[in-house]
Amino acid sequence: MRTFIAIDLDNEIKNNLSQLISRLKKCSTNIKWIKQQGMHLTLKFLGEIPPDKVSEVESLLRKVAEKHSHFLLKFKGTGTFPEGNKRPRILWLGIEYNENLKIFQSELESELEKIHFPRENRKFHPHLTLGRVKSHQDLSLTFSELAKDREKDFGEMIVKKITLFKSTLKPSGAEYTIISEHELK
């Protein structure tokens, strides 16, 4: 099964993002927008894992979660990946720098490496994907509208748990199912 570890977002944050996406949708049909139920902060994409590996991952998540206290996430600003590129592929919402999140994700990465999940090659850049560009035609209005929120605050939430998700790819988009949740202390 295809899996990933993430922080599920509070409904207030999901509503704020949905309002932003609704506004941006009016600018272009050339972007595949994230649905509200799929909004999350990915900490680690595990990919395809056999069902018998799930309990090993869950045990590791319990262990890591129990070592960390709740922490605050602040959602601020918008941008694109690659940054400064005339043909970006991703539109995103930023997450203000947070040392607790950085330490948590780094420890998670290290522990997962011990059970044969390769470490990411690129540096962790926490963000929420808003949409993926399907075609670069007629996107100037979308990008100028997105730029208006480059410094805007979109709310904050206390992270109390991490979630192991199953991802099922469908023609209508990915569908996410919670496998397990692991409370922080």
What is the tens place of the pLDDT at every residue in 96-124? 999 999 999 999 999 999 999 999 998 99
Mapped onto helix, strand or coil, the DSSP state of residue 77 is strand
* Known catalytic membership, residue 125: no
Q: What is the pLDDT of residue 85?
A: 65
Q: Which is the catalytic residue, given 40, 68, 125, 136?
A: 40
Residue 2 Cα distances to 54, 174, 179, angstroms: 11, 11, 11
Q: Is 127 a catalytic residue?
A: yes
Runs of H (alpha helix) within the chain: 11-25, 54-66, 99-114, 140-147
Q: Where are the domains of the chain?
A: 2-183
pLDDT band, very low/low/confident/very high, at 41 (cuts 50, 70, 90): very high
Question: Given 68, 70, 116, 127, which residue is catalytic?
Answer: 127
Superfamily of domain 2-183: Cyclic phosphodiesterase (3.90.1140.10)
Average pLDDT over residues 10-29: 95
Specify the pTM.
Answer: 0.93
38, 21 in Cβ contact below 8 A?
Answer: no
